[in-house]
Structure 1
């Protein structure tokens, strides 16, 4: 429970500050400018996720199973990520500054959001090791302190000027502080000079072993970001700003899925690696925790959402009041899918997760293109709910089948003396299962 409490504090600090500052931006900037911010944040997050290449999830699983390899895993992961970040910056920064049709202040702001998101992703990757080895208190200290810095800097930017450039600069500085603090904390327990000593063979191996996680994580998060991008494309920047304000409130629940994943993936992976007989029972506990949290968040969004729209965002965002029921249903199904998904990660079944994500994602994108032009942003959260329902069914079926195979394998491997004797009264046909 101590680990749960520490991760709860970490998640609450991270979520409250990130969510609070963005919602204040929604109120002060208005739907149109906030629509630009939402698109800049969304695209920057996608780039950061692509350059992560699943290294974080792979490290969480690898270090959880074999803690003595933490130094090698983290140095190789950070070095491999850097090999992706450098070309991404060399391509995207000139593209933003010279090609995209944006205002001058929007160009610079977009670059600062991109660099800030990449810095933030370095910090998240660095903190993976503390979750994997059970030192949650170290991550909690870093996240809480840097969250305060983030809130203060963005608050000052909003209060002093409330323009896009100031907000972008504050975002970049605060995320850089977070990354530097995380890397410094990591350097105190691991030798970071090993990052420069990784051979090409080590880096190739890290890429190879992380590919399934990269496809999994990339597909999951990119499809999760597509709603804002497609709303912007199909309904305009102002509609995207309105939709993102509500969707961003929902994002406040997402870190709690990460919280549980950070706790349960290493533990379940460790149990499976050591062939612990209680692994299937632990699997049911994981699913139960996700379902309970999902229902609680769904009820909270349904009842509090309209009050949030009326009393905080104001009349410019009144369209959100028609979306809260759909947002609540989406939240519940998202937690259900996550409960099955983290088990698939611990089980090492990357293909099944990838298949589920791509299948549900394709259905979702097709439905966005059909229903958003016809029904506006009101259709978007219902389409997302459909996609998550499909994903939950695929994941759940996969987890059930895998654990059934594990049980059958264990029974088959038991010595004959360990098998329970059949009652003498059973006929030969009954013994044969006929």
Structure 2
């Protein structure tokens, strides 16, 4: 694996993801304006269902590749081919689920819209897998170039189509074509770097799927974030509420792309240290956790303090109701990033099973809380439930790491927790106003 400094790795990976963040901000803003809260809500509801349905096909194999390639002493092609074969098998096994979903769609959605978005999300999953293989081997330059290409190829066609047609079906077609082109492009770049993903056989693929169940569970729980919102809010409040909330969540998810940038740089480093450089493990983990906390604090406060400007610039006057929700999105961002830092540390240390179990428990808690809070507080109630659930998840992750660490590492972990809590104090004052 190529060895680069943290700063250089972050800069190269951040270049592409930064371009994606900016272009996504522009594209979603144009799409939301042109379609309006109702049609935009329908599009986001269909996209939510499609994204959740492709979760079994992705199976958390991108995270598996990131960790395993970094620790592998042999040929990375073997790991990548093994995971790629498992991925194709997962797609095949998921096909009956896709067909059943098309036949059982709610009346408010068209099969054309849903089918196009389903294929688009499958293609996007393959792109992410190929890019994760590049990052695992330290090819951050190629990752940066692909990130810039992805930014414009994903966003420009979607935004222009929404502006030209104001049609949800046309926008869904733009989603599909842009994702297909990028999947092919990422596969070619992977081959050009000398990495090859070949079919290893159904038995080997099945064995890998079985061994990656913890990765799949954790990935599924993570994928629910930002997606299950649409289903819950549509059930309680209707499509317009989904449109307003998902407009805020698109801003949230655009900014949250910083998380994968940090994870894709730090996870291989921490995982490698856990096997090859145990003396550096504490320092690498502390750097990872503190970085996540500081980034979460900066973005969270930006959401709260800049709510009016962000919403007005991105979505216009139709979405003014979103302004009062933005401080809650800000607090959620801080808590989410604090939890993510400890979750990545768990994965790097081989404790994926605990991470998966804790994530399942936190979603059960969120859904139970939502049943009481959403009817009482509408969309704000869902954000409250997410904040509480992610706080509990953060406590579980941190408790596990601190409890299993030595005195020195436990002390460093406690420092990170205190820093995170201090950083959240200004957010609490903003919410109390």
**In the alignment, which residue of structure 1 is the partner of 2:42?**
36
Correspondence 1:76 to 2:82: yes
Q: 2:171 aligns with which of 167, 170, 191?
A: 167
- What are the Cα deviations for residues 102-130 of structure 1, in whole angstroms up to 9, with x where unaligned? 468x3211111110110010011011121
Task: Please point out which of 277, 282, 285 is paired with 1:280.
Answer: 282
Aligned positions of 1:60-139 closer than 5 A: 60-66=66-72, 68-93=74-99, 95-96=101-102, 98-102=103-107, 106-139=110-143
Residue 49 (1) aligns with residue 55 (2): yes
Unaligned runs of 5+ in 1: 409-434
| Aligned-partner Cα distance in 2 for 1:195–1:6 | 28
After superposition, where does 1:344-363 map in structure 2 within 5 Å?
344-363=346-365
Which structure has the larger Rg over C-alpha atoms? 1
Distance 1:16 1:89, change over 3 A: farther
Aligned to 1:369: 371
Q: CA RMSD in A?
A: 2.0
- Give, in whole Å, the separation in 1 of the partners of 2:93 and 2:373: 37
Contact 1:52 1:81 (C-alpha < 8 Å) held by counterparts: yes
1:406, CA displacement in angstroms? 10
Where in structure 2 are the equivalents of 1:28-427 lying within 5 Å?
Answer: 28-66=34-72, 68-93=74-99, 95-96=101-102, 98-102=103-107, 106-190=110-194, 192=196, 195-196=198-199, 198-404=200-406
- What SS is found at the alignment partner of 2:193? coil
Kindly report structure 1 stretches of 4+ aligned residues shifted beyond 3 Å. Answer: 101-104, 189-192, 405-408
Deviation at 1:290?
Answer: 0.5
Q: Structure 1-normalised TM-score?
A: 0.88
Instruction: Map Cα deviations across residues 309-348 of structure 1 (whole Å, 9 max, x no partner).
Output: 2444233222212212211111110110011111001001
| CA deviation after TM superposition for structure 1 residue 30, in Å | 0.8
Checking the alignment, whether the CA contact within 8 Å between 2:60 and 2:220 is kept in structure 1 is: yes
Match of 2:421 in 1: none
Query: Are the counterparts in 2 of residues 223 and 361 from structure 1 also a CA contact under 8 Å?
Result: no
Task: Please identify, of 47-56 and 108-117, the stretch whose mean Cα deviation from structure 2 is larger.
Answer: 47-56
**Unaligned 5+ residue runs, structure 2?**
1-6, 411-433
Q: Does structure 1 retain, via aligned residues, the 8 Å contact 2:53–2:98?
A: no
Q: Rate the CA distance shift 1:219–1:327 in 2: closer, same or farther, 3 A.
A: same
Cα deviation for residue 224 of structure 1 reads 4.6
Shifted more, 214-223 versus 292-301: the winner is 214-223
Q: Note the C-alpha offset of 1:269.
A: 0.8
TM-superposed CA distance for 1:356, in Å, is 1.7
Contact 1:93-1:111 at 8 Å conserved across structures: no
Counterpart Cα distance in 2 of 1:407 and 1:31: 48
SS at 1:278 equivalent: helix
1:23 to 18, 29, 48: 29
**Pairwise CA distance, 1:90:** 4.4
CA distance in 1, matches of 2:253, 2:73: 31
Residue 406 to residue 74, structure 1, CA distance change in 2 (3 Å) = farther
